[in-house]
Amino acid sequence: MNKMISLVIPIRNEEFYIKDCIESIINFDYPKKFLEVIFIDGKSDDATLKILGHYVERFPYIKILENNKKVTPVALNIGIREAVGDYICRLDVHAVYPSNYLSNLLEWSQRLDADNVGAICITGIKSNTNTAKSIQFIMSDKFGVGNSLFRVGVKIPVEVDTVPFGFYKKEVFDKIGFYDERLIRTQDLEINKRLKEKNGKIYLIPSVKFIYFPRENYKEFFQNRFETGRWVILSLFIANNFKNIAIRHLIPLLFVLSLILSFVFGFIYAEFFYLFLFIILTYSLTLFLRVLFIKKNMFLALNILLAYFVLHFSYGIGSLKGALEIFTKGKK
């Protein structure tokens, strides 16, 4: 028996990604009479709404709502409150989805009696540059994303703490509340932790996959990872819950701190400067040789090493800034 499914999709200035995302959605094999697609726009000032408008005219199950506050958790809550579905599927416009995406998630949700199920995230690229290829590699590698199961994959459905862009029973939000609108980032992580604390069941389904497109130049990639690292730390204080993050989220912060402290103390004690050199050289040489062994291409290996630097340092420095903000500004 088909259930009504509501797709909730925050957008803001997504002209580069939105067409491919919508095309994948309208190709879903799920019956359209049981589907509504809600885009929540945060005051886009590029061609996003123009592109989206062409689809709204053709497909009555697609609608656009406004998000005057421009931040993701507010958009999600607007969409969820508007949704009429028995299930809420939170999607991201930086991704494309297979035609059986919804039907498979619904099947697994019902089979496992799960409160939330999610798919494996495959990192894709839209351009063929070495930078894009390097970012694609590190965002699919354990040395880049740690033990993030939805990125590195699993072999069988497993119960997890969080999934990307979850497929929720609508009743979940009646039980645990809506997204925390104070969290500009990491709101998915926080709401899933809250669901687990209420004995909710969250499963990662390996047979269901989608392709996600990260930023493909180092400037935007650095900014994105910096803000994610910053908000991982801020969310601990704002949500007052140290269960919101895993150890892997803190490793870049510890790495950056070890480099900063060993370098600074190196001006006082030479041993600390040698420690600084040991850390940075061991890090660089280990990653470079590992990538060279996999790719057999020295130039690409150097590019990927640079991508690792950008990822780990941006995330770590962002986390450090978040920690400093907590100490200097408090909840304000």
**Position 222 in a domain:** no
**Position 58 in a domain:** yes
**Position 232 in a domain:** no
On whether both 190 and 297 belong to a single domain, the answer is no
**Position 183 in a domain:** yes
Judged against a pLDDT cut of 70, whether residue 55 lies above it is answered with: yes
Q: What's the whole-number mean pLDDT along residues 94-113? A: 96
Residue-level pLDDT at 142: 87
Q: Band the pLDDT of 150: cuts 50, 70, 90.
A: confident
On whether both 198 and 49 belong to a single domain, the answer is yes
Residue-level pLDDT at 62: 97
**Position 323 in a domain:** yes
Whole-angstrom distance, CA of residue 256 vs CA of residue 238: 23
162, 184, 216 - which closes a domain: 216
Which residues are 22's β-sheet partners? none
Residue-level pLDDT at 30: 96
> Which DSSP category does 46 fall into?
S
Number of domains, the chain: 2
Residue-level pLDDT at 188: 92
**Model confidence, pTM:** 0.89
On whether both 276 and 146 belong to a single domain, the answer is no
Q: Band the pLDDT of 178: cuts 50, 70, 90.
A: very high
Residue-level pLDDT at 250: 85
pLDDT tens, residue by residue, 278-307: 999 999 999 999 999 999 999 999 999 999
pLDDT tens, residue by residue, 164-174: 899 999 999 99
165, 183, 216 - which closes a domain: 216
Burial tier of 260 (Cβ tally within 10 Å: 0-12, 13-18, 19+): middle
On whether both 94 and 138 belong to a single domain, the answer is yes
pLDDT tens, residue by residue, 198-217: 999 999 999 999 999 999 99
On whether both 69 and 129 belong to a single domain, the answer is yes
Residue-level pLDDT at 136: 94
On whether both 150 and 282 belong to a single domain, the answer is no
**Position 309 in a domain:** yes
On whether both 54 and 131 belong to a single domain, the answer is yes
Burial tier of 178 (Cβ tally within 10 Å: 0-12, 13-18, 19+): middle
**Position 289 in a domain:** yes
- 10 Å Cβ neighbour count for 91? 24
On whether both 161 and 14 belong to a single domain, the answer is yes
On whether both 27 and 175 belong to a single domain, the answer is yes
Core vs surface per residue 214-238: b (16+ CB within 10 A) or e: bbbebeebbebbbbbbbbbbbbbbb
185, 216, 247 - which closes a domain: 216
On whether both 212 and 291 belong to a single domain, the answer is no
Residue-level pLDDT at 95: 96
Residue-level pLDDT at 327: 84
On whether both 243 and 131 belong to a single domain, the answer is no
Question: Which residues neighbour 130 within 8 Å (Cβ) at sequence distance 6 or greater?
Answer: 299, 300, 303
Residue-level pLDDT at 147: 74
Average pLDDT, whole number, for the chain?
Answer: 92
pLDDT tens, residue by residue, 252-285: 999 999 999 999 999 999 999 999 999 999 999 9
What is the total residue count of the chain? 332
On whether both 280 and 149 belong to a single domain, the answer is no
Which percentage of the chain shows pLDDT scores above 70? 97
Nearest one of 239, 166, 226 to 197, comparing CA atoms: 239
- 10 Å Cβ neighbour count for 242? 8
pLDDT tens, residue by residue, 4-13: 999 999 999 9
Q: What's the whole-number mean pLDDT along residues 223-236? A: 91
Dihedral in degrees, nearest 10, Cα atoms 175, 176, 181, 185:
-130
Q: What's the whole-number mean pLDDT along residues 82-98? A: 96
Segments forming the whole domain that contains residue 307: 237-329
- Strand 87-90 versus strand 158-159 pairing type: unpaired
Q: For the domain that residue 95 is a member of, what is the CATH number?
A: 3.90.550.10
**Position 227 in a domain:** no
Judged against a pLDDT cut of 60, whether residue 332 lies above it is answered with: no
Judged against a pLDDT cut of 60, whether residue 244 lies above it is answered with: no
